[in-house]
Structure 1
Amino acid sequence: MSILMYKQRHKHPNYRKTPKCNYAHIGYIATRPGASKKEGMRHGLFGKLSPSDEVTEFQSWQEVGRLVRELSYRRVNIFRGIISFLPETAVELHLSDHKAWEEYIEQHIRILAQKNGIRPQDLQWAAAHHNEQNHPHLHVVFWDKNQKTMIPYVSPQIPDNIRIALIKETFSEKIQAFLAAKDKARTELSEITDKAAADFEAFVKELKPKEYRSLLEESSDIGEEEIGRPSFGDVIGKADLTAFIPYLFPLKDKMPKAGRLLYQLLPEEVKAELDSFVILLKEKNEYIRQLTEDYADSKCRLAMLYNSSPENVTEIRKKAIAEVDKLIANKVLKAIKVLLNKDRELASYEYSQAQKEYYAEEMLCEILMMLEQAVMALDDEYEGQEEAMSTDLSKFAKKEWYLKHKDKGMEI
């Protein structure tokens, strides 16, 4: 269910009963039980018949009904729209009285007109707020007073575009916050992996050929104290490291020998092997997996503003994870390129198993330690955003989504 619902329809202008039906609809929205009215008024109809006017409380709904009926006889389309929220969302937006709903539709009516091809100077409209306890909503009737061509059909895409545009304007502050969280996750992931690759490249480039050969020959005896870094076992575990070796170096050997080393430029069979390596990396390390989940979560929260159905959220999550996987893959390629450069420098050199472990360990340790810092920063950021922007609606939507996916290994 969307955080904002918009529906639109109209009676076919050629139908014989259309003028009478449009007149009756004006009376219905103005006088039905639950219609919000100003003090002293017998109906709740308000609107604008000229762009230069203020929003008007019509003296009688019949005057608008007669105008609509007359236009209907001239084959002018009379569009009927409904905007509705859940009660919790209406409270959050301070849509608590007749005046608030008047101001809301006055601010957003131009979206309805624009998406239906109505110029501002030709727009006329009337609306009524129905203050139902479990379904607060607003009926709006609008038309083009100078319409020249009959419109028998309106694509369903138009109401959906209106709904999305209304969401963007109504919840603009929330959306900006979610976008900021998503962009921060992506930016920090990119920054830390760039730095890790740069550090590794600098480490290798600083070695002279003779030093490089000597280091490789002695790598099986190099201890953690000698290379001056924290225990790798604290980050990923020695047992997990051995799983990477059969993938990383054979992957290096299958890379193209010329041209740029980018994921999208790789042969499909090499892409498949690189994808498997990224999956293995996430399976074996909680830090990388958690950062990927953080990025996907921020995109899902944003998507739930528009459509909180489990199918939509699942699809958004799938695409978000694919984005991060591609980003990580390109960073792995950047590190592999450093090894390829060293291979070209020492063309006759062959890696021993111990030497492979050393270089795989050096690369992975740098990347994973940096990722750990990013995850901690992201956790703090998301906690702050969630505390600042959480609502009953978002909690309900999260619970709905969680119950749907709890058996699939996903958590909110």
Structure 2
Amino acid sequence: MRPRAPFFMQFKFYQPFNTNKDKHAAHVKYIATRPGVELSERRPDAESPETDNAIFMQYLQERPRSHGLFGSAEEGVDIKAVAGEAKCHEGIVWRGILSLREDDAIRYGHTDRTKWEETLRATMPYIGLKLGIEERDFRWYAAFHKEPGHYHVHLIFWDKSCRRRDGKFARSELRYARGLFVGEIYGPERRRLLAEKTMCRDRMRELGVGLLTQPMRLPSAARATLQNALTSLAFALPTRGRMFFAFMPPEVKEEALRVADLVLGQTAFARQVQEYGELAEQVAAYHTSRPEQLQLARQNAIEDLRERIAQVAIKGAVGVRRSWIEEGYRTRRTINQASSLFLQTGALLRQGRTSLRIEEAREYLKSRVRQDGLQHVEINKQKEVERA
């Protein structure tokens, strides 16, 4: 279940400037005594940039319905000492507002100062480090305001060493800060949604692997289309290099995504894809309530899923190509074996023919010997007759 409204976070920075006590006093009087003004609904942030940080600090503490000032230390805060330090600080001072809608604050247990203290003490030190501020130099203070409709805290912080020169937060710093606050405030529920999203994605990936490795489960027409697409991808793959979607040339990515779309278009995936998109929207709802941003989060999640299935398709196509190579090797081996057998058979036949010729010659010689012997006997008989 998504939050009713996204977490609100805003930071402003103020460069060091010179002022005087009269301006301090005038501003204090302005925010405290202006007729008809409820200071519980007015922020000094709306005033001129010349508003002094010490006045802002006093405002946090003295504002109606304020739960008082607190900081990194669990013991009480000396307002005068803090205001004096803020007034005398020669570097940049940041002010911030963190807010939850009332029903969300109730739902997530952020309805009192104690809970906000825990949240800020768990997050602010890391934000200081992200800004490049050593923990010993990071000064931060806050006050919780239980305003009807939106519970919020006002923050003020600075770098005592003045090493941080850039007042504007980088995008990465803002993302980091928001991520810390969102993770701490929404905690278990957000982690559950992220876990469900991951499980849903992994489940679809396994289904994709199953379809690509065992397409026989598909109807014949869908099976033929998928196998043809996978074959086309196998032909398109480069012959060398790492077989990862991110490294593929555009035309190969297009082929791989076509296979992914065929897989995700199967009936077994329809409900899973819908659920995955909804989970992506719920996770994004912690940061925004704008419909176009939520739709973009859904689209990005689906696109990420397509690319993951495309990677599975690439691996499947590599397997198809490997099977071709192995089949070609087996075919060549069979041909080589047949050729070898043919040669051996030819040799045997030649040997057989030679043996036959030798045997024929031997028989011929034997017959000649017999004939010669008989002829010799006949001659001897004739000689004996003649002598007689």
Q: TM-score range by the shorter chain?
A: 0.5 to 0.7
Q: How many Å apart are 1:33 and its aligned residue?
A: 3.0
Corresponding residue number in structure 1 for 2:41 = none
Deviations 1:170-210 (A, max 9, x none): 3332332223222222333333444555557xxxxxxxxxx
1:28 matches 2:31: no
The 5 Å alignment of 1:2-401 reads 3-16=6-19, 20=24, 21-36=52-67, 44=68, 46-48=69-71, 53-56=73-76, 58=78, 61-69=79-87, 71-72=88-89, 75-144=90-159, 146-149=160-163, 151=165, 153-155=167-169, 157=171, 158-195=173-210, 197=212, 247=229, 250=232, 254=236, 263-264=245-246, 266-283=248-265, 285-336=266-317, 339-340=320-321, 343=324, 345=327
Q: Aligned equivalents of 2:231 and 2:134: distance in 1?
A: 63
The question of whether the paired residues in 2 share the 8 Å contact of 1:13 and 1:150 is answered with: no
Q: Is the 8 A contact 2:105 2:151 kept in 1?
A: yes
TM-score normalised to the size of structure 1? 0.59
Partners in 2 of 1:169 and 1:295 — Cα distance? 24
Q: Which residue of 2 aligns with 1:360?
A: none
- Cα distance in structure 1, aligned partners of 2:224 and 2:164: 72
Aligned-partner SS, 2:16: coil
Residues 1:16 and 1:295: Cα distance change in structure 2 (over 3 Å): same
Cα distance between partner residues in 1 of 2:93 and 2:233: 64
5+ unaligned residues in a row in structure 1: which ranges? 37-43, 201-228, 350-412
State the AA in 1 paired with 2:86. V
My pick for the range that moved more, 257-266 or 182-191, is 257-266
- What is the CA-CA distance between 1:132 and the residue it aligns to? 0.6
Structure with the greater alpha carbon radius of gyration: 2
Residue 138 of structure 1 and its aligned partner are, at CA, apart by: 1.0
Residue 133 (structure 1) shift? 0.5
Q: Are the counterparts in 2 of residues 164 and 306 from structure 1 also a CA contact under 8 Å? A: no
The structural deviation recorded for 1:259 is 7.3
Code of the residue aligned with 2:75 in structure 1: it is V
TM-score (norm 2): 0.62
Using the aligned pairs only, state the percent identity: 21
Q: Does the C-alpha gap of structure 1 residues 192 and 131 become closer, same or farther in structure 2, counting only changes over 3 Å?
A: same
Which stretch has the larger CA shift, 123-132 or 256-265? 256-265
What one-letter code is carried by the residue in structure 2 that aligns with 1:6? Answer: M
Equivalent residue letter for 1:155: F
* TM-superposition CA deviations, 1:136-194 (whole Å, max 9, x none): 111122334x4245746333534453222221233332332223222222333333444
For residue 54 of structure 1, report the CA deviation from its aligned partner: 2.8
Deviation string 1:205-251 (CA, Å, 9 cap, x unpaired) is xxxxxxxxxxxxxxxxxxxxxxxx8xx6xxx6566567657645555
The SS at the match of 1:56 is coil
Q: Relative contact order, CA 8 A, sep 6+: which one is greater?
A: 1
The separation in 1 between residues aligned to 2:320 and 2:85, in whole angstroms, is 78
Q: Partner of 2:65: helix, strand, or coil?
A: coil
Equivalent residue pairs, number: 298
Q: For structure 2, which runs of at least 5 residues remain unmatched after alignment? A: 25-51, 332-388
